[in-house]
Every structure is written in C-alpha cells, then in structure tokens.
Amino acid sequence: MNVMFAGMLGGWEIILILAVVLILFGAKKLPELAKGLGTGIKEFKKATREVTEEMTNAMDDNNPPPSQKRISQTTPVQTPQVESTPTVPQAPTPGPKA
C-alpha cells in the first residue's frame, strides 16, 4: 500500500460523505451551507492576501530600525527625587566680649 494515497478519498467515500451530509442537514439547508462555506473561503483568502501584502511592504521599507538613542528619547526616564531639607537661618554667634 502506498503511503501517499492513504489520505486520499475514493469515489465511494465521497458519495458516502455527501449522503450523510444530505441526511443530516436536508436538501433545503445545503445551498445555505454551501454559500456560507464559499463566503468563509473567500474571506480567508482575502485575509491571507492582506497579511502577505503587509509583510511584503514591511520588508520592503528602507527605514532603518530605531536606534537606541531614539528609543531613550521617546521613553521618559524617571530621575530620583531628592528631598531637600529647608534651611533655617542661623542666628549670628556672639563674638568675644570686649
């Protein structure tokens, strides 16, 4: 038995699957299911194409990546706050008595 054909479906398997789907969903629901499946496939292809275009455009940009200096300018750096003690004016010291 060839391994490549192990996953392939034959004609009878496809007919059996279609018969089960017809029994489960009925003839009236099949067009709705097919339309929903077609819409889903179309949306999936559209999203795949958009992502591929975005990735291609991002790789084609000649803008260099931001340098480390530029990043540090955009990121605020917090400096430690030093509390200063209020200075109280000192009274003049009395000099030697004459």
For every residue of 30-54, DSSP letters joined together read HHHHHHHHHHHHHHHHHHHHHHHHH
- Percent of the chain exceeding pLDDT 70 equals 55
20-57: pLDDT as tens digits: 988 888 888 888 888 999 999 999 999 999 999 999 88
Give the start-to-end residue ranges of the domains of the chain: 27-59
The residue with greater pLDDT, 47 or 11, is 47
Average pLDDT rounded to a whole number, residues 80-91:
62
* pLDDT given for residue 59 in this prediction: 83
Please state the pTM of the whole predicted model: 0.42
Q: Which residues contact 25 (CB under 8 A, 6 or more apart)?
A: 33
Q: What is the pLDDT of residue 69?
A: 54
Query: 14 near 23, Cβ under 8 Å?
Result: no
